[in-house]
Amino acid sequence: MIRSADAVWQGQLQDGKGQMKAQSGAFDVPFSFGTRFGDVPGTNPEELIGAAHAGCFSMQFSALAGRAGFTPERVATTAKVHVERVGEGFGITRIELHLQAHIPGIDQATFEKLAQEAKVSCPVSKALAAVPEIRLEAKLV
């Protein structure tokens, strides 16, 4: 299985513009210096990394809960990707995963154990191992 996306950038860093597109056609979006490092509305690579991480984590958590005998009714994850100046450039310095799940019959200790296991075992978490810190806040609702 191979998944791909394309990006094209035109111009200089601060006044140029780019376009990112998924192989599947699920998105074809513009991006710019302002959408990435400023407050200009629009997307950026880090936002897409956050969406990928939240989606992967949610699916992994659901799979682990199912293997443990539970049926999740709802698993919602927000990933906050922190981009900060690092040396002469920028880097992703932290990702915060915020999980809220409704799973009938699960106890708090099992819920937290499964959430921690999902954090380290989802493929996107593994791919992001170079990020200095990935935090998890899990709330059973």
Q: What CA–CA distance (Å, rounded) separates 69 from 51?
A: 27
Average pLDDT over residues 105-125: 97
How confident is the prediction for the chain on average, in pLDDT? 96
Range of the domain at 32: 5-37
Q: Which of 48, 73, 50, 47 is nearest to 62 (CA)?
A: 73
110 and 130, same domain (yes or no): yes
Q: Do 72 and 122 lie in a common domain?
A: yes
Tokens matching residue 52:
């990928």
Task: Give the model's pLDDT for residue 32.
Answer: 97
CATH number at residue 60: 3.30.300.20
Report residue 109's pLDDT band, with 50, 70 and 90 as the boundaries.
very high
Q: Is the same domain home to 14 and 77?
A: no
Q: What is the pLDDT of residue 31?
A: 97
pLDDT in tens, 86-97: 999 999 999 999
Q: Higher pLDDT residue, 100 or 38?
A: 100
- Whose tokens are 């996107």? That residue is 124
Domain identity same for 32 and 81: no
Is residue 61 located within the same domain as residue 111? yes
Residue 8, pLDDT score: 97
Is the pTM for the entire model greater than 0.85? yes
